[in-house]
Structure 1
Amino acid sequence: MHTQIKKIVIVGGGTAGWLSAIHLSRFWKRGRGADDLEITVVEAPEIPIVGVGEATTGLFTTFIRNLSNEREFLRETKASFKLGILHRNWTGDGSYYLGPLNDDRQLGIPALPPETYPYFFAASVAEGEPAWENVLNSRLMLDHLAPYSRPPGQPEQSAWDYAYHFDTHIVGAYLRSKCEGVTHIEGTVEAVNLEPGNGHVRSVTLADGSEIEGDFFVDCSGFRKLVIGGAYEEEWISYAEHLPVNRALPFSVPHEEGASIPSYTHAWALSAGWLWQIPTQERLGCGYAYCDDFISQDEAQAEVEAALGHAIEPWGDIRIASGRFRRLWVKNCVAVGLSGAFSEPLESTSIHGTLVQLLVLVQEYLTEHFDFDAEPILDRYNRRMGRMYDDFRDFLVMHYQGGRDDTEFWRSIGLNDSARERLDLWRHKTPISSDLDPYFGAIDMKLWFFTLDGLGLLDPEVARRELDYYGLWDDARRAHREQRTKGDAFVRHAVPHARYLEQAAAPEAPSQPLSAARPRQQRLSRAERRRRSRGG
């Protein structure tokens, strides 16, 4: 039986809740002219929002462009740019590798047709150079530059692919301010009430005894998992065997006065997990994601303080669990964000997955009259989202395969079957896009490539053999030269990250172009950067 959707109730606020409200109110309700649709967000003010610095992917950048404008977003949220991730000590020798965000359009290589772009990176592997080295964003990352260049007398130029860092609490408030026609109720959900006949969610009961009814519910209750996990008791598929990190020790560090602001996330592998450092305009949001099977909270704090060289003040110790529900959409409720799936926050998959879920939901599935008992439709959505989150798992598991074995934690992590199949394949051939299932929201092959190469998992001999076979050596080398030339021109007039943020966040947009001049700083040669990245 079809239900006319007149009332939508979003259980929980935070980033997932307000993203859901925006997609349903601005992109779904408005697009269908459903003026009589009521959308309510029920948010418990006493329940803390999880997050101390959040990093996103390019999908969130597209969302902000559709929602408002970048300058306003930077000004109102104190966000910063993310051009990629710097991974330190994942092989245990102190070296680092970069995982730059990179768009094929950014390459624009006349010498190399798009279908052969992976061999642009394979040529670096074959010659013993980091695959990330010829990517524009890598150069901007290492010099703490913004993804904008202002050549004199020319229009502003932008790197194609970048994302943001921000404070979750501030962005939640910003997203709330962008909601149109949404009712906001502060209250704690104490009970989820199901219809005795068809099992649909009828309403939620708040702590004050009030009851809120709805036709469709979005579970954004975070780690409480109130509806799909609580009322429906859906099966949880754990990733803990291969992603054992189960605690997070969050803290923050203020920027030093006058210091540059990195335009990357720093992921620093430690003895029982890894330390994240996410720069916003005001501070570094940090945390140690660790496994308490191998280290206590006090030991974790001591290890961080030894690594950083100063004391920290943790905000608490958060229990986390990687995994997903077998079904994210059950009857007339869909779980979005942490309430439905979670993987350790190494590659910014949380908000990315939330956006994919919402976009697919409002663009391809949800209609004004919907049959919530149509299992084939719900099953298709659930299989699609399950595949995405399982692929996120495989990608994260791959980060732990760099051969590090100096602690029990690192020796304990193995490969799950699907990740092992991928790695076995790529030990014998160059990774290319057709090796992955093509679907909206999938991890881009280039990010897989940078990770595999950074961990030493790609065979230079395989790369040389394939470049010989396809006759691509000359094209790839010419493409490298072109990229270096283009990169030199862009970087020469690129704006320092901190300066761009300061000017972009001014109350009034400057009438003159933002200055690209930057303070003199030490510039490392390519050879020196390569030596340092390898721990030399």
Structure 2
Amino acid sequence: MKNFVVLGGGTAGWFAAFELRRLFGAGVSVTVVESPRVGAIGVGEGGILNFPAALVGRYGIDLDAFLEGTGAVFKLGFEYIGWNNGRDDDVFYHLFHSLPTEGDGRVIDGIAPYWSMLAAHGIGIHHAIYSLPFVLANASQREVRSACEASGGLMPWSLHFDAHRVSAWLKLAGMARQIETHVGNVVELVRDAESGHVHGLRFEGEERTMPCDFLIDASGFARIALQKAMGMQFRSFTDCMILDRAIPFYIPHPRANPHLVTSALAMNAGWMWQIPVRERVGCGYVYSSAHLSEDEALAEIETRLGHEIEPMPTLRFHAGHFPEVWVGNVMAVGLASGFIEPLEATSIGQMLGQLVMFGETVAQSQGVVPQSTISTFNHRNLLDWDGIRDFLCLHYDVRRRDTPFWRDVASRPLPTSYTDLKAAWQLRTPRPVDFNAYRAGHVLHFDATSWFSVGQGVGVVPQAAAQADLGMLPREVVRFAEAFLDSVRIRNAATMHM
């Protein structure tokens, strides 16, 4: 294969092009096709931990140049407001973290003693996270970067960014790597009659056909390859994930420095994201159209914020994914392969994880990839989507019943893969072994401590489960955990009196 084509010039498309160039070097042609009619989707985006790992580690992007060129800012996790009772004083955090080690209560048989000690006493386990004081103090970008570099890995981070600026910056970086671009509207994927493989692309108003040996479809919600050209069946998650609209908009920064977490504010029929970049905050109300009209959603936004907004066009989506994303010589990534909703920045995280899995598959196969390996790839990718779906189901397994939406969410059937875990967590806290089914040999996006953080925050993991953990630990370990609990109480008391 000599001619690789990436269909779509958004974030997913450019990262896919970087992966192809990394895999095959300068001996092949990599072309990103951009439509003049379609722009990048997103008003404020956020990554998870695999974003900086890909950006800096895998693809060798200079962090300083990226920050300067895109206005991106550091992100330390997620903040949830009003998810249990709708009030602004109902707050919990899911902060990025490293797995507990010797220094902060090492894991013993899957139990994180310090975390369990906090949870057993009704204290949020985010108080065990190194980054919490920086979030609460609204630390500056310089302070956060210095702390991250000095922490020895105890303060992992990701980034908040504007998708439009990132796509434009990645394009310049890609062109410097001899990745070509072509602007045009695709009217046909030319396919072989027997194999179904794509061997060319035809464009509106152009006579020549662009040759193609392998196609990566990053065409977003247009889903040109799998849906339009191949008619592949979509696997819907709408039985348990009912949000299907998003109204994006911008607001000025409400703080002296950009907030260090993605805020997720619970609303009457969904939730509102607030994602800071350097100049402003990108926001959006993600809601269920079965419970709210667009006008009602706009009115609720303005009531919640206390001022008028200038909304951008409403985005429509359908929760789910394609069970097979690699078919013949075509692979779909990003929105072209599936989407659930923006919560927990899973879309970009899943895309990057899939590209890593693709790269490992091709490299370890030395480019000779049998169909059985492709089938295994697709199965692993499906399990990844299952894990994301179940993790998001956890967020909506809350106690509030004050609006029709939240009552409807509570009555929806949940996947048995999630309810089985929930039943176990009534007796003990989440364990790494619980998530092996989602891992399937590749990196897990959200480990046991992420599930513990959110599970405690929404009340799915009760205090009794953490208390049971402590009863399984050696007494000496429990004493160390009790000392840590005392230090957290002292620190919290001092903060309250400042």
What is the TM-score of this pair, normalised by structure 2? 0.90
Q: Out of 238, 249, 252, which is 2:250 matched to?
A: 252
Q: Secondary structure at the match of 2:144?
A: strand
- The answer as to whether partners of 1:22 and 1:175 remain within 8 angstroms in 2 is no
Cα distance in 1 for residues equivalent to 2:104 and 2:39? 51
Cα separation, 1, equivalents of 2:104 and 2:80: 31
Is contact 2:2-2:27 (8 Å) kept?
yes
Counterpart-to-counterpart distance in 2, 1:166 and 1:424:
38
Which stretches in structure 2 are left out of the alignment for 5+ residues? none
Q: C-alpha displacement at 1:150, in angstroms?
A: 5.5
C-alpha contact 2:40 2:167 (8 A) present in aligned 1: no
Seen in structure 2, the aligned counterparts of structure 1 residues 463 and 249 have a Cα distance that, compared at 3 Å, is: same
Partner of 1:466: 469
Q: Distance in 1 between matches of 2:4 and 2:134?
A: 44
Aligned to 1:178: 173
1:91 to 72, 84, 87: 84
For residue 127 of structure 1, what is the aligned residue in structure 2? Answer: 121
Contact 1:220 1:337 in 2 (8 A): yes
* Corresponding position of 1:307: 304
Amino acid of the residue matched to residue 426 of structure 2? R
Aligned counterparts of 2:42 and 2:14: Cα–Cα separation in 1: 15
Deviates more, 1:66-75 or 1:285-294: 66-75
1:102 to 97, 102, 120: 97
Q: 1:412 to 1:57 in 2, by over 3 A?
A: same
Change (3 A) 1:227 1:528: farther
Query: For the structure 1 residues 482 and 19, does the alpha-carbon distance in structure 2 shift closer, same or farther, using more than 3 Å as the test?
Result: farther
Matching residue of 1:475: 480
1:115 deviates by 5.0
1:364 paired with 2:387, answer: no
- Any conservation in 1 of the 2:86–2:266 contact (CA below 8 Å)? no
Measured in 2, the distance between the counterparts of 1:526 and 1:460 equals: 24
- Counterpart contact for 1:84–1:141, Cα < 8 Å: no
Q: What is the RMSD computed on CA atoms of the aligned residues?
A: 2.3
Q: How does 1:104-503 map to 2 (within 5 A)?
A: 104=99, 108-109=102-103, 112-113=106-107, 115=109, 118-145=112-139, 146=141, 148=144, 156-157=150-151, 159-179=154-174, 180-209=177-206, 210-255=208-253, 259-365=256-362, 369-370=367-368, 374-413=370-409, 414=412, 415-437=414-436, 438=439, 439-442=441-444, 443-471=446-474, 472-480=477-485
How is 1:68-83 mapped onto 2 (pairs within 5 angstroms)? 68-83=61-76
Corresponding position of 2:7 = 11
SS in 2 for 1:440: coil
Q: Of the candidates 52, 62, 65, which is equivalent to residue 61 of structure 1?
A: 52
SS of 1:104's partner is coil
Instruction: Call closer, same or farther: CA 1:444–1:113 in 2, change over 3 Å.
Output: closer
> Are the counterparts in 2 of residues 135 and 483 from structure 1 also a CA contact under 8 Å?
no
- Percent identity of the aligned residues? 30
Contact 1:54 1:168 in 2 (8 A): yes
Alignment coverage as a number of residue pairs: 477
Write out per-residue CA displacement over residues 232-262 of structure 1, whole angstroms, 9 at most, x where no aligned residue. 1111001111111100100011226x82221
| 1:369-397 residue CA offsets vs partner (Å, 9 max, x unmatched) | 445xx331111000000100111010001
Counterpart of 1:81 in structure 2: which amino acid?
A: F
Secondary structure of 1:452's counterpart equals helix
Q: Is the 8 A contact 2:269 2:288 kept in 1?
A: yes
Cα distance in 1 for residues equivalent to 2:489 and 2:10: 42
Higher relative contact order (CA 8 A, sep 6+): 1
In 1, Cα distance between equivalents of 2:84 and 2:134 = 24
- 1:272-301 Cα shifts (integer Å, max 9, x gaps): 110000000011000000111110001000
Which segments of 5 or more consecutive residues in structure 1 lack a partner in the other structure?
489-522, 530-536
Q: Measure, in 2, the Cα distance between the counterparts of 1:368 and 1:213.
A: 23
